[in-house]
Amino acid sequence: MTILGGIGFGAPWLLVALAALPILWLLLRAVPPAPVKRRFPGVALLLGLQDDETVSDRTPWWLMLLRMLAVAAIIIGLAQPVLNPDDPRAESNGPMLIVLDGSWAGAAGHTARINSVKAELSRASAAGQTVAVLQLSDPVDALFLPAATWATRLAGLSPQPWQPSVENIDKAAQIIANAGATSSLWFSDGLGYDGRETVLAALENAGPVQVFQSGRETLALTPASYIDGAIDLTVLRSSATQARDVIVLAQGRDPAGNGATLATATASFDAGETSADVALVLPSELRARITRFEVQGTRSAGATTLVDDGLRRREVALISAREGREGLELLSPLHFLKQALEPTADLLTGALTDVLPANPDVIVLADVATLSDIETNALLDWIETGGMLLRFAGPRVAASDVSRAEEHPLMPVRLRSGGRSVGGAMSWGEPKSVASFADTSPFFGLSIPDDVVVRSQVVAQPDPTLANRVIAELSDGTPLVTRKVIGQGQVVLFHVTANAEWSTLPLSGLFVDMLERLAISSSARLPDAADLKGTVWTPLQVMNGFGTLRDAGAMPGVAGPELIDGATRPDLLPGLYQSGDRSLARNVLQTGAVLTPAMWPARIPVSGLTVRPPQPLGGMLLALALVLLLLDIVASLALSGRLLGQSARGTLTMLALGLMLGHPDALRAQDTADISAAAEVVLANVITGNADVDEVAFAGLLGLSDTLYFRTSIEPARPVSINLETDELAFYPLLYWPITPDQPTPSAQAYARLNAYLRSGGLILFDTRDANIAGFGAASSNGRKLQALAAPLDIPALEPLPRDHVLTRTFYLLQDFPGRHTSREVWVEASPNAEQIEGMPFRNLNDGVTPVIIGGNDWAGAWAITSSGGPMLPVGRGFSGERQRELANRFGVNLVMHVLTGNYKSDQVHVPELLERLSQ
Amino acid sequence: MTQNNAINAGELRARSESQAARLPPLLARAEHLAGAVLLGDHGRRRAGMGDDFWQYRPAQLGDSRRMIDHRRSAMGDQQFVREREWQIAQSVMLWCDQGASMRFASTDDLPTKAERARTLTLAAAILMIRAGERVGLTGTRLPPRRGNDQILRLANMLSQDQDVEYEPPEHRAMIPNAAALFVSDFMGDISAVQTALTKAADRGVRGTLLHVLDPSEEAFPFHGRTIFESVGGTVRHETLKANDLKDRYLQRLAERKAELQSLCALTGWQYGVHHTNSSAQSGLLWLYQALNGGVRV
């Protein structure tokens, strides 16, 4: 293959033929165009006239150029040109090693990278090389296979949610040293990490290395934190380039439980900055539903940060027995609770029955002894569905009989009456301190300050269940905090008051920690390793390299400090972890992380990931030549005047216009017609295909619309002619359908729509326009056509219009329904149950509206007006004819009134009854 | 005569009737009243075209309303027509070119020249027959006669095509001092026209020449290498650059028109040009004016 100017040619010698083009030019110039033969009587005057020049009309230069281009395109096309020809890489044919980073940073450009690997594999396949693929984040022994085999296995490679660790690097270096590859390609993710030099050195020992690295910068998100009412997020990028905006999406569940984007925020990188902060202020309801944040358009574990309880603010209802005592705030049983909970929880206050419907997470009863049965049952129901009732003891509880003889359902233990006081003025002994927490207690691991002492408490009765229910006790072994599980919820009782009256516990930091461990409050800051000492966290859901969550299954738990400090690795995947009632999100990046771009020594060639496959141009050029030759035919014909006659040219213009305006405009026009038809009362006639009949029908409806406008409160818009096959019928209250013997029968779809139209209250007025000469449905051609047309329609039983039908009195009182003809026979839906109510027939059927009216009086002909407003067709003779036209108009008014008002006039039977009642 | 021709004749008559219906009856100028050979029953107590009163008769179907004499009619319920004494009937001889060159129309929208020429000729004939003139064809085939039957005969004769490429005007058997109407495109040899007109002038025949042309014959909108062929296919002319010929063709056409006009001026005839893209009514109007000497009856 020869390469000329970036384009390769399979048969370059054919290009020599281009030199013949100028000769062709001269030849084409010399040959005159074929003569046109014309009939022309004036030829007699032409006889004897000589041409001034002997040279014929030259072919215009642009036509010549067109032909030259066509010939040139054919020549070049046959020379087999190829765009982006394969330049064979000067390489050995030895085995090749393809190395991928395989970290989360590569997830965003994974597809492009794999395509690039595929292109390299096909190149290697063409060169007959064997290939092994090594993923540094998950190194396995190099397996040298034919390149085509590897191409089918590429789908199995996916990025891992961690960066290659030291162990990974060591193993990979060993594999590379043992592989014996003679060349290698390294597809980098674009992020730097420790140990890359080791791998590079190992690869360079084996042979030349080429690096492929995308120019895209890597984006990542650090964990979200909730500070001062706003969610703080930091977006990181790997290279400090120009200013850029990145959109961060807050994903979560909508109230229906479906995944949705709840909020978006824009993080702006300044030029030269690698991190951008974004603060998101959301209502707490919305904030509580957020499950993760993502960077829009980037799909990787690093650009996803999961959210745990940190953002969640629990609703805590505080209820105490004593309320309304001003000035004694420090003595209020709720004061210290408020202080402890306010920063991290939403507090509710109010009566118990008022706060229960709000379904709070926690209800605190501070020294509330007795509850009504209703309150008790409501609380029990609430606890069963997961509520947490936190009770504090106090003088009232101590004085009451609650849970004395038998255990109260809302108390974890039975209480001895009176409680006890230690270390007071009237008692012996020292105030008791708190014993260290047992390892079964949720408070295990909390350090106990020395100054926490208990002076008074209520005392639990020793019961068989007591030992299980104690979660904190005093140094002498008496229970301090007890807990009972009810359904999905629990009741926790602090045996001391919530204020500093009985103990110093509410004054200490331990109180806050205990509330936090009980998941009553959640910590505002991210926990550090020391906080989680002694806890073990089991994964609930873990992320893969793309940032997709999956169920963790039976993965082993992780120690708390490790979960906080360790880097992600195969046994510490990013995801959601749980310990007891608390949950913690572990993300790929920790707060304060920095992304460093991968830098390469100057000796290593680095190229991008764009794949430019060779593209043969021959076919395109030959097609172009064909198009040019077709153009030449058209142009030649046009030049010699033989392309089209005068009239055909007009047709062509119309055709071109039609093509330009095209279908969408037609559709839009239809839409606007529909909109106007839906907005106003619009009468419609069915297009029969007979232009005269259609014109009269349209003019008839126009005349009827005018009559309605002048005489009634119905103000119809301009009527329309509709095509049953294409137009929507639902907008039209009335269809006027004149019958012609030769009109086409509608399609099955059109009949389906017509039936739907009839069932939904539409009315079709069939007009055979033959004055019923032969009687209804009999031998006239229009009658037979009507029978054929109406057979598939969903038409009920019919009867001749009875004299008491509502049509006779909807607006005018009528007994005859003439059009241009005066036949009495008009058929409407039969009303089987015309019951007589107080002497008046009362029909209640389809809201009284007959779906069809069939007659042959050519009503449209009588209604029809010309554009100037005068009657279009004569009716009858003289004045009686005008009277007949007037009656026809009245019938039209009655008809439209009937369609629009239904059986409203039938209700007149009740008028005497109503009048009688009014007079009483 | 084939049935086809009869139908064509019927159509032709209907179209001409509709054209003629819009004009009042035409009285051809009777200049040579005294010299008329066929004076007929002039002054012989018979109703006809004249200036003197002859009688009142009840109005009949077909009488034009303007013929009603209102002074007499107002005396009773019946309407009367005042008839005048027949004073003169003039012979009018028609010649309409039936040659092949007339069967040409440049586009489908336009009528052929022959069609237009026949319509105008027959319309003029109907007008004149209604005015009581005797109308016939030049030559011996159809001598001038009166009456509606003559219209039928004229229509028959006018719808017969000739195979000749350019038909020379028929000038035999011209009745002296009669009127004549020649309708043609005058594309053929001009000497035949010259002969005919000279001969007519010799016999005191005065008349009208109507030159019917297609718009393309006036515009010559042709380009490029073209072979022009007459309608019959007997004459052809090839050119390499048709647009170069345009000026010279138009010059020749103008010369032909000027020649015809001077010929008419010499012989006392009237000359008019009619294009097939203008309406037939305008052509008939011109003919009416020309035959009537510009005086309305």
Supply the pLDDT for residue A668. Answer: 56
How close B248 comes to chain A (CA, Å)? 8
Give the chain A residue whose CA is nearest to the CA of B239.
A51
Q: Could you tell me which residue, A737 or A516, shows the higher pLDDT?
A: A737
* B53 and chain A in contact, CB less than 8 A: no
Beta bridge partners of A486: A489
**Least CB–CB distance from A40: residue in B188, B229, B238:** B229
Residue B253, pLDDT > 70, answer: yes
**Interval A59-83 mean pLDDT:** 84
Mutate to test the interface with A, among B228, B239, B255, B277 (most CBs of A within 10 A): B228
User: Residues 50..109 of A with a Cβ closer than 8 Å to B: which?
Assistant: 51-57
Residue of B nearest to A38 (CA): B228
Compute the average pLDDT of residues A444-448.
Answer: 83
Q: Do B225 and A45 touch (CB under 8 A)?
A: no
Flag whether pLDDT at A537 surpasses 80.
yes
Cβ pair B224:A46 closer than 8 A: no
CA closest to A36 among chain B residues: B226
Query: Who wins on pLDDT, A779 or A299?
Result: A299
Q: Which residues of A touch B164 (CB under 8 A)?
A: none
Q: Over range A802-823, report the average pLDDT.
A: 84
Of A739, A744, A738, A711, give the one whose Cα is nearest residue A860. A738
Residue A890 pLDDT > 90: yes
Share of chain A above pLDDT 70, in %: 85
Q: Do B230 and A39 touch (CB under 8 A)?
A: yes
pLDDT digits (tens, 9 = 90+) for B258-291: 999 999 988 888 899 999 988 877 888 788 778 7
CB atoms near residue A524 (< 10 Å): 13
> What was the pLDDT predicted at A835?
56
**pLDDT tens digits, one per residue of B7-16:** 577 787 777 7
Determine the pLDDT at residue A83.
78
Using CA atoms, how far apart are residues A475 and A434, in angstroms rounded to an integer? Answer: 5
Tokens at A155, concatenated: 């789908």
Q: Is A702 left (phi over 0), alpha (psi -120 to 50) or beta?
A: alpha
Q: Does A40 touch chain B (CB under 8 A)?
A: yes
Tallying the residues shown for chain A, one arrives at: 920
A149 touches chain B (CB under 8 A): no
Per-residue confidence band for B46, with pLDDT thresholds at 50, 70 and 90: low
Q: Which of A191-200, A265-274, A339-348, B286-295 has the lowest mean pLDDT?
A: B286-295
Interface contact B252-A45, CB threshold 8 A: yes
Please tell me which of the candidates B216, B217, B244 has its beta carbon nearest to residue A51: B244
Residues in chain A with CB shorter than 8 Å from the CB of B227 are 35-38
Q: Which two tokens stand for residue A310?
A: 């940190």
Interface test with B, best of A43, A51, A643, A647 (most B CBs within 10 A): A43
Q: What is the pLDDT of residues B48-95, one digit of tens each?
A: 555 567 778 888 888 888 888 888 889 888 888 887 665 556 788 899
Q: How far is A39 from chain B (nearest CA, A)?
A: 5
pLDDT digits (tens, 9 = 90+) for A14-27: 888 888 888 888 77
* A473 vs A840: which has the higher pLDDT: A473
Rounded to an integer, what distance in angstroms lies between the CA atom of residue B239 and that of residue A54? 10
Q: How far is A7 from chain B (nearest CA, A)?
A: 43
CB contact under 8 A, A47 and B237: yes
Please tell me the predicted confidence (pLDDT) of residue A644.
58
pLDDT tens track for A629-680: 999 888 877 776 666 554 455 555 555 555 554 444 445 556 777 777 788 8
What are A197-232's pLDDT values in tens digits? Answer: 888 888 888 888 888 888 778 888 888 877 766 788
Q: Does B235 touch chain A (CB under 8 A)?
A: yes
Are A35 and B237 a contacting pair at CB < 8 A? no
| Residue A408 to residue A375: CA distance in whole angstroms | 13
Say yes or no to pLDDT of A378 above 80: yes
Confirm or reject contact between B120 and chain A (CB < 8 A): no
DSSP assignment of A683-733 equals -EEE--S-HHHHHHHHHHHHHHHHHHHHHSS------EEE-TTTS--TT-S
Q: Which among A38, A41, A53 has the least Cβ separation from residue B222?
A: A38
A43: left (phi over 0), alpha (psi -120 to 50) or beta: alpha
Which chain A residue is nearest to residue B189, measuring alpha carbons?
A: A44
- Is B108 an 8 Å CB contact of chain A? yes
Q: What is the pLDDT of residue B33?
A: 26
Cα(A88)–Cα(B142) distance, integer angstroms: 99
pLDDT of amino acid B37: 25
What 3-state class would DSSP assign to A906?
helix
Least confident span in A521-530, A746-755, B4-13, B220-229: A521-530
Distance from CA of B8 to the nearest CA of A (A): 24
Report how many Cβ contacts below 8 Å link chain A to chain B. 111
Beta-carbon separation of A57 and B245 below 8 A: no
Give me B29's structure tokens: 């100028």
Structure confidence at residue A701 as a pLDDT band (50, 70, 90): very high
Q: In chain A, which residues have their Cβ closer than 8 Å to the Cβ of B224?
A: 33, 35-36, 57, 639-641
> Looking at the predicted structure, is the pLDDT value of residue B1 above 70?
no
From the list B113, B239, B249, which residue is nearest A45 (CB)?
B249
Dist CA A544 CA A566 (whole Å): 17
Cβ contacts of B117 on chain A, cutoff 8 Å: none
Q: Which residue from B224, B236, B248 is facing A640, i.e. has the nearest CB? A: B224
**Would you say residue B24 has pLDDT above 50?**
no
Q: What is the mean pLDDT of residues A672-689?
A: 84
- Distance (Å) from the alpha carbon of B220 to chain A's nearest alpha carbon: 9
Least Cα distance to A702 among A860, A564, A828 occurs for: A860
| Res. A519 pLDDT band, cuts 50 70 90 | low
Residue in chain A lying closest to B103 (CA) = A41
What's the predicted TM-score (pTM) here?
0.42
| Cβ separation A43–B113 shorter than 8 A | no
| Cα angle B72, B73, B78; round to 5 | 135
DSSP, residue by residue, A846-885: GGG--SEEEE-S-HHHHH-B-TTSSBSS--SSHHHHHHHH
Rounded distance between C-alpha atoms, residue A540 and residue A8, angstroms: 58
Give A13-70 pLDDT, tens digit per residue. Answer: 888 888 888 888 877 776 666 777 888 888 888 887 777 665 555 667 788 888 888 8
Distance from CA of B51 to the nearest CA of A (A): 45
Residue A532 has pLDDT above 80, yes or no: no
Hey, is the C-beta of A31 within 8 angstroms of any chain B C-beta?
Answer: no
Chain B nearest C-alpha distance from A715 (Å): 45
d(CA B266, CA B268): 6
More confident site: B33 or A650: A650
Whether B241 sits inside 8 A of A40 (CB atoms) is no
CB < 8 Å to A44, chain B:
101, 166, 187-188, 230, 235
Average pLDDT over chain A reads 81
> Per the CB < 8 Å rule, is A41 touching B239?
no
| Chain A residues inside the 8 Å CB shell of B259 | none
Nearest CA in chain A to B257: A45
pLDDT at residue A345, rounded to an integer: 78
Residue A909 has pLDDT above 60, yes or no: yes
Question: A650 touching B, CB under 8 A?
Answer: no
pLDDT at A156 exceeding the cut of 80: yes
Name the minimum distance, in Å, from the CA of A46 to any CA of chain B: 6
DSSP string for chain B: --HHHHHHHHHHHHHHHHHHTTSPPP----TTTTT-S--TTTTSS-B-SSSSEEEEEE--TT--GGGB-HHHHTTSSS-EEEEEB-----EEEEEE--SGGGS--SSTTSPPHHHHHHHHHHHHHHHHHHTT-EEEESSSSS--B-SHHHHHHHHHHHT-----SSPPPP-TTPPTT-EEEEEE---S-HHHHHHHHHHHHHTT-EEEEEEEE-HHHHH----SSEEEE-TTSS-EEEES-HHHHHHHHHHHHHHHHHHHHHHHHHHT-EEEEEETTS-HHHHHHHHHHHHTTT---
